[in-house]
Amino acid sequence: MSRVRSTVFLGLLMLAACGPAPEPCSTEWMSWVDATVTTSDKEGHGPDVGSDEWRSVVEFRLGLRGDAAVPRGNADAWCRYVDKAIKDRR
């Protein structure tokens, strides 16, 4: 019985990992980005999710900081750009 539960759990975990990412700029999406990119240090300290500082760290971790192609001033465009950058990394 334990083996069956483990198999089912593993299958559900894999299915969840393959699911679509949340809608860009949503609270869920920002949490997904934060978990995917890892914006905090080893002690768990980091910028507030969604803040300008957080966006800067996300850009840095993705190698986008200073890239003229990264949208500025438009949150939705920035989120879509970052979403694509993360998905292209996979």
pLDDT tens digit sequence for 7-36 = 444 444 444 455 676 999 999 999 999 999
Rg of the chain in Å (alpha carbons): 16
Which parts of 38-90 fold into alpha helices (H)? Answer: 52-61, 75-89
Measured distance CA(33)–CA(58) in Å, rounded = 8
Task: Report residue 73's pLDDT band, with 50, 70 and 90 as the boundaries.
Answer: confident
Residue labelled with tokens 């760290």: 57
Instruction: Report CA-CA distances (Å) from 82 to 12, 21, 38, 56.
Output: 27, 12, 14, 11
Average pLDDT over residues 35-63: 94
Spatial neighbors of 18 by CB under 8 A, at least 6 apart, are: none
Token duo for residue 5 = 């539960």
Which sequence spans correspond to the domains of the chain? 21-89
